[in-house]
Structure 1
Amino acid sequence: MKRKTPIILFFSSLILLTGCWNKRELNELSILLGLGIDKEKDQYIITAQVVNPSEIASKKGSSGKAPVVVFQSKGETIFEAVRKITTVAPRKLYFAHLRILVFGEELAKEGIGEAIDALLRDSEVRNDFYITVSKNSRAADVLKVLTPLEKIPANSLFASLEVSAKSWSPTEGVTINQLVSNMVSDGINPILTGIEIKGKVKDGEMNKNLQQSKPKTNLEYKGMAVFKHDKLIGWLNEKESRAVNFALGKVKSSVGYVKCPHGGKAVIEIVRTKSKLNAKMVKGEPQGSVEIKIQGNVAEIECNGLDLTNPASITYLEKESENVLTRIIKSTIQHSQKEYQTDIFGFGEALSRSEPDDWKRYKKDWDQTFLQMPVTVKINMKIRQTGTINNSPLNKMK
């Protein structure tokens, strides 16, 4: 009997093991990479950009077919609209590989809260895709445009947003978790990168748009959408978008220029930044501060007679860079206070950390308090290198 006991236990345990009861084969799914959400009256419009597997997997080169297929449907709710896509698509949408989510501008003005709720409840949806807002167009039109270099437009948009954020800095890749955190917080409001169609949508959705060195229609990231909780209330331009990222310490690399004493420009490459945004009580009232340390290199000189071997010239470039950036950041903070009356920087969150007891008094009506709050901006710029040459050869030319 003792010998039989392990055998009985082994076969008994097999009863508890399960197979792949919910497995789905790839040929039964539509791999969703780009999702657009618009609203028309009381109905949601869902636009799904899915991979055309026969074109992507082809070993014989391009067959002339589009690398993606765009499906669209309407519904009273988002979930209904997604399911209704099966009436036009032969396969059910698979959300696990979603790369880019685009909200239409009109929907964003009404509020994106319901759409976010629907996505968060779906177990297939991961949190590593980026979210943007279409500017002056519908999300559906953005997802119809084919892009050069990358076969799949959603992948192109994802990569372009990452590269732009790392090397130029007027954009930011915001994930769904980051967006929700800022939406529900009392001390900060969300911002999302905007995307704009350059050219005609009809030209952009044709394969011949890619068969020329300069496509007639392109997609371009443009400014940032300012939200109050879940509603779009305005836009920041490119300069202001970069200023926000500088203040929040999100600039990894960028480029700027200052005017030279005797005409021309000096271009500075930003190679490192460290930002500290704070808020504290001063004489019984909240006051904000932004301190940024920046390291840069001289990338280009168009100045007349600027001697880079002279330490005074380097000091001049540093001070001018500090002044220019200080003005832009102050102007952007004032724009956020006076025009939009919303804290997109997170001064409220900073106050809740530094002065938790006082924060309880201001928490409920923080945006109104932020409207009047003074903010100081201090920039410390250090130029480390001037490149492989010091003075420009242009100085020797008459």
Structure 2
Amino acid sequence: MKWSFTIPIMLITFLLFTTGCWNRRELNELAITLAMGLDITKDGQYLVTAQVVNPGEVAAKGGSGGGHSPVVIYQATGKTVFEAVRKMTKESPRKIYPSHLRILVIGESLAKKGIGKPLDVLSRDWELRSDFYVVVAKGMNAEDILRVPTALEKIPANNLFNTLEVSEKAWAATSAVTFDELIEDMVSEGKQPVLTGIRADIKGGKKNSLSKQNVEIIDTPARVKYGNLAAFKKDKLVGWLDEQQSAAYNVITNNEKSAVVNIPCPQGGKAVYEVKKVNTEMKGKIKNGKPEIDLNISVEGNVGEVECQIDLTKPESIDQLEEIYEKQTRVKFKKAIKQVQENDKVDIFGFGEAINRADPKAWNKLKKDWDKNFENLPVNIKVQGEIRRVGTVGNSFLEKLK
């Protein structure tokens, strides 16, 4: 009989200590941060900018109608990023909560100095997801990017996030790099990191451009725009790629989703080759004691536009366009790779990883001075382009106009 009373009492006592969530966070106690910027000040401290959602202004029916901004900017400086974030509570009525972070913007000055140390807290925080995107503000501070209001998206952070995803799928020179991917490339022995650049184009007075008036007219005076890729050596920015080099990088690393390529027609004029599918096979090898790379690039696409005299109903015309595209692409990519080897001198393509996969013993000797080996590394490129479709019409109606 004693056990029949003892067991329920023990269970009740145990449940009293296990119910509830000891570290729960109520929504009305948190400042949801969707975008964050990291800069370096003149005295060497970190300037952290947090773009916090104003929940009352992003409600389904348009908010409170008081004309307030859908986001609020909070800033603080500190000797460490963690210190700066905590110091924001001096002016924020809620604790900065970055668990829903969508994009991190790094100022160019900080990127040149090194991003490894300030990123440590983001990799260490157990509340923070690591699938947010990271970009570099070209020629400006990150805070300048986060202060620009946007028109199509009420929350600027969502605008930055969605624009990068759309651009990566439609334009070959941009690449959406997550925090996980950045850290992985930073610690890799055979591949250096890249990040997409972003800048704010501000026309006229900066005061109006960075206020609500910026989104109340058709031709907004301030816009954020993604650019080409930034090349890093470990955690330091060493240079900016041009458009052709950025496109070559995405193709070589199998990151290209789609692209538009202008190609010359056999008898003058030009046509547009719309890339729909790309597959690159990268193979490393040791030839006569020296490393080499073979790139086999297979491309499928459509004829997107024709501004020349060519009969697309004939198979030989399609063959001619494919051959022109293959030759042009091979020349452009060899030039782009050579420029990176000579100017930036960092292996952003992952050629070292390919050598390691092919011959680990040889790589153990080469990796100690891989930057020098990369500068003189022969890269053999083979391009196979295939045109699948020419559109809903055969030949262009421009022939009839002539």
Q: What TM-score does the superposition give when structure 1 sets the normalisation length?
A: 0.96
Quick one: which of 254, 257, 264 aligns to 2:262? 257
Find the counterpart in structure 1 of residue 383 from structure 2: 379
**Structure 1 counterpart of 2:145, one-letter code:** V
| Residues in 2 aligned to 1:63 and 1:335: alpha-carbon distance in whole angstroms | 54
Find the counterpart in structure 2 of residue 111 from structure 1: 114
Find the counterpart in structure 2 of residue 144 from structure 1: 147
> Does 1:271 pair with 2:273?
no
> Does 1:25 pair with 2:29?
no
**Structure 2 counterpart of 1:44, one-letter code:** Y
> Does 1:93 pair with 2:96?
yes
The Cα shift of 1:16 comes to 4.7
Find the counterpart in structure 2 of residue 358 from structure 1: 362
The Cα shift of 1:28 comes to 1.1
Secondary structure, aligned partner of 1:197: strand
1:207-218 → structure 2 map (5 Å cutoff): 207-218=212-223
Secondary structure, aligned partner of 1:290: strand
Q: 8 Å contact 1:248–1:276 — kept in the other structure? A: no
Find the counterpart in structure 1 of residue 332 from structure 2: 328
| Residues in 2 aligned to 1:128 and 1:30: alpha-carbon distance in whole angstroms | 20
Secondary structure, aligned partner of 1:146: coil
| Residues in 2 aligned to 1:328 and 1:91: alpha-carbon distance in whole angstroms | 52
**Structure 2 counterpart of 1:329, one-letter code:** F
Find the counterpart in structure 1 of residue 55 from structure 2: 53
| Residues in 2 aligned to 1:245 and 1:69: alpha-carbon distance in whole angstroms | 35
Find the counterpart in structure 1 of residue 197 from structure 2: 194
Find the counterpart in structure 2 of residue 43 from structure 1: 45
> Does 1:156 pair with 2:150?
no
- The share of aligned pairs that are identical, in percent, is 47
Deviating more after overlay: 108-117 vs 163-172: 163-172
| Residues in 2 aligned to 1:270 and 1:63: alpha-carbon distance in whole angstroms | 47
Find the counterpart in structure 2 of residue 68 from structure 1: 71
Secondary structure, aligned partner of 2:368: coil
Find the counterpart in structure 1 of residue 392 from structure 2: 388
Find the counterpart in structure 1 of residue 136 from structure 2: 133
Quick one: which of 123, 126, 132 aligns to 2:126? 123
| Residues in 2 aligned to 1:71 and 1:9: alpha-carbon distance in whole angstroms | 49
Q: 8 Å contact 1:110–1:231 — kept in the other structure? A: yes
Find the counterpart in structure 1 of residue 238 from structure 2: 233
Q: 8 Å contact 1:274–1:292 — kept in the other structure? A: yes
Give the paired residue count.
Answer: 397
| Residues in 2 aligned to 1:17 and 1:32: alpha-carbon distance in whole angstroms | 31
| Residues in 1 aligned to 2:341 and 2:283: alpha-carbon distance in whole angstroms | 16
Deviating more after overlay: 222-231 vs 75-84: 75-84
**Structure 1 counterpart of 2:114, one-letter code:** G
| Residues in 2 aligned to 1:57 and 1:155: alpha-carbon distance in whole angstroms | 15
**Structure 1 counterpart of 2:191, one-letter code:** I
The Cα shift of 1:319 comes to 1.1
C-alpha distance after superposition, 1:211-243 (max 9, x if no partner): 111211110001011000000000012221111
| Residues in 2 aligned to 1:366 and 1:125: alpha-carbon distance in whole angstroms | 34
Deviant stretches of 4+, over 4 Å:
none
Unaligned residue ranges in structure 1 (runs of 5+): none
**Structure 2 counterpart of 1:43, one-letter code:** Q
> Does 1:178 pair with 2:181?
yes
> Does 1:293 pair with 2:281?
no
